[in-house]
Structure 1
Amino acid sequence: MECGPYGNNMYLVVCPETNESILIDTPAEPDKMIELAKTTDVKAIIITHNHMDHLLGFEDVTAAIDAPVGIGADDADALSRPADILLNDGDVISAGNVNLTAVFTPGHTPGSTCYHTSGHLFSGDTLFPGGPGKSGSPEKLKQLIGSITSKLFPLGDDVNVYPGHGDDGHLQSSKEEYADFRIARASG
């Protein structure tokens, strides 16, 4: 669901067998998210990274939905309340028969974390169709590119990518677009 003035994507991953769910990110327009989430049994609220546009609805969502909150350990200090789960690379969050594995991808923020399950990647602002997310310095860009190439690309070409903003994509297309981005960066 697209929410707020920054075009953020919020995701609700639902187990079809149990109707248990995991809510990913809490942007603006929390009432829309809360209404949708309350049609399920929310087992966790997880955050991809600590930027304000992904947290504008955080207080309202966490007040309305009684579920533990998880975020990458290095981004936890930005939350308005302590996280219940400090996520590290490889940690698993479950709802029914759905398991999301945390994939630590620093570069956009120190604690940026993507979430992977069979055939699906929730990439936050780490990877968009067309290339990597924004970074604050050449060193952070190098770190971000390293995260993408070493952690995300090995997940497989058939993986669907659901970014923090904009349209969904596929990891195979992202690899091809990333190659174009890398060539453009090298010549620029």
Structure 2
Amino acid sequence: MTYSGDVTPGGAPAVRELDRLTITKLSVGPMDNNAYRLRCRSTGEQVLVDAANEAPRLLELVGDGGLAAVVTTHQHMDHWVALEEVVAKTGARPLVHADDAAGLPIEAETLSDGDTVAVGDCALEVIHLRGHTPGSIALLYRDPAGTPHLFTGDSLFPGGVGNTDRDPERFGQLIDDVEHRLFDRLPDDTWFYPGHGGDSTLGAERPSLPQWRARGW
């Protein structure tokens, strides 16, 4: 089945098989949050991006393969409701950007811009995107056999950047970081996976950047 990225709360996950990495996307309620299980195809090591909610479903998704780490893309509660239980039951390392660490319910190892998170033989690059929260991050996987894949949390969605509460300073930070650290660095075929809703590509969104900047949100 062709991967579309369309998932619904309570529904089946969507699975995308890359050459070295398997991406499994699951939507959890009640806020239609996306959680992503990343599995290295050569070693079997797994990492979870955002233990958002519904810990039993996330643990079922992890299965018996163990979990190396849980990366939280930012400190907002709807992205970490299941974090404490998932970490307790799997022994996974909790990871978050240093500027958002205080907002989590458990102590976590901290990340900085440019760090890498290993998923077996695969690597995720940490990209700091200020504005939605002080420590929001995206995770970049550069597929050696294909296009880049980008997990953007709530910093970038199809149709715009994340919520900055109409704060001009925060919006300026976020639109600048998204433009310069994502769109200026990565090609149009980069596929991105947001914290809620459907996926898109940078190429599909790139023409709208001036409109986003002009409208201020």
Q: TM-score range by the shorter chain?
A: over 0.9
Query: 2:201 matched to 1:170?
Result: yes
Q: Which runs of 4+ in 1 moved over 6 A?
A: none
5+ residue gaps, structure 2: 1-25, 143-147
Report the counterpart of residue 148 of structure 1 in structure 2. 178
CA distance in 1, matches of 2:151, 2:180: 16
1:72 and 1:113 in contact (8 A); partners too: yes
Moved more, 43-52 or 59-68: 59-68
TM-score using structure 1 length = 0.94
1:130 and 1:178 in contact (8 A); partners too: no
CA distance in 2, matches of 1:81, 1:182: 36
Which has a greater percent of helix? 1
**What pairs up with 1:14-93 in 2 under 5 angstroms?**
14-83=39-108, 85-93=109-117
Shift in Å, 1:181: 2.4
2:66 and 2:90 in contact (8 A); partners too: no
Report the counterpart of residue 135 of structure 1 in structure 2. 164
Shift in Å, 1:43: 1.4
| 3-state SS of paired residue (1:155) | coil
Q: 2:155 is matched with which residue: 126, 130, 150?
A: 126
Give, as a single letter, the amino acid of the residue that structure 2 aligns with 1:52.
M
Shift in Å, 1:39: 4.0
Give, as a single letter, the amino acid of the residue that structure 1 aligns with 2:38.
V
TM-score using structure 2 length = 0.81
Over the matched positions of the two proteins, sequence identity in percent amounts to: 39
Q: Structure 2 vs 1, CA of residues 39 and 155 (structure 1 numbering), >3 Å: closer, same or farther? A: farther
Q: 1:110 is matched with which residue: 120, 129, 134?
A: 134
Q: Structure 2 vs 1, CA of residues 39 and 180 (structure 1 numbering), >3 Å: closer, same or farther? A: farther
Shift in Å, 1:149: 0.7
1:14 and 1:40 in contact (8 A); partners too: no
5+ residue gaps, structure 1: none
Shift in Å, 1:112: 0.4
Moved more, 160-169 or 36-45: 36-45
Give, as a single letter, the amino acid of the residue that structure 2 aligns with 1:24.
V
CA distance in 1, matches of 2:103, 2:74: 9
Report the counterpart of residue 37 of structure 2 in structure 1. 12
2:47 and 2:69 in contact (8 A); partners too: yes
Shift in Å, 1:30: 1.2
Report the counterpart of residue 3 of structure 1 in structure 2. 28
Number of aligned residue pairs: 185
Moved more, 33-42 or 166-175: 33-42
